Amino acid sequence: MIISFAGWPGSGKSTIAKSIAAELGWPYYSMGQLRREAAKRRGMTLEEYNQLAMTDISTDLEVDEYQSKLGKEQDNFVIDGRTSWHFIPQSYKIFLTVDPQVGAERIFQELQQGGDRNEGYNLNTVEAVLNSNYERVNNDRKRYQQYFGIDVYDLANYDEVVDTTNLTIDEVIAKVRALVKERLAQTKSGN
């Protein structure tokens, strides 16, 4: 089984995906990390790279082809990425939602602790993070609609939707763990 995670900025998708992968003993792949590495190879910040993506489809194709290939060649892994559900259609698709203000506060907190999300963004207040998140979501929507005809934020694309707004990380992990356990049992029984 392949589990794909997507979600709103600050919903905890990377943290939850890593945790579930570790519990299952499965490989974990982060499309966000691949984009950061691609930006560095080009001598760009992530913000510059994401802006380039609005006019240069090659910035998305590298990641999309990679995850599509993974889905065809491997099984039993966890992946987080906004388009993973689309390029690995057989995956168990989980979307994490969060109130935008709460998501911005989480990201700001992470930045205060030395997180790498601020590269090139100058996110020094919760308000700046919130505005950056809205811009990112809008850019994602436009870009993926233009390139692939999909809306990565349309909840109908996913098997499960978990609202993380009022939950701790441990509570989200427990909730997702239960969903995954149930899906694994269904898969093993052939349902």
Residue 189: per-residue pLDDT:
79
Query: What's the CATH code of the domain at 37?
Result: 3.40.50.300
pTM above the 0.85 mark?
yes
Q: What is the 3-state secondary structure (H, E, C) of the chain?
A: CEEEEEECCCCCHHHHHHHHHHHHCCCEEEHHHHHHHHHHHCCCCHHHHHHHHCCCCHHHHHHHHHHHHHHHHCCCEEEECCCHHHHCCCCEEEEEECCHHHHHHHHHHHHHCCCHHHCCCCCCCHHHHHHHHHHHHHHHHHHHHHHHCCCCCCHHHCCEEEECCCCCHHHHHHHHHHHHHHHHHHHHHCC
Residue 118: per-residue pLDDT:
46
pLDDT tens figures, 145-173: 988 899 999 999 999 999 999 999 999 99
Q: Which residues of the chain have pLDDT under 50?
A: 118, 120
Residue 116: per-residue pLDDT:
54
Residue 135: per-residue pLDDT:
87
Residue 63: per-residue pLDDT:
84
pLDDT tens figures, 107-121: 898 888 875 554 545
Residue 13: per-residue pLDDT:
93
Residue 71: per-residue pLDDT:
94
Task: Give the range of the structural domain holding residue 114, as residue numbers without chain letter.
Answer: 2-189
Residue 115: per-residue pLDDT:
57
Total domain count, the chain? 1
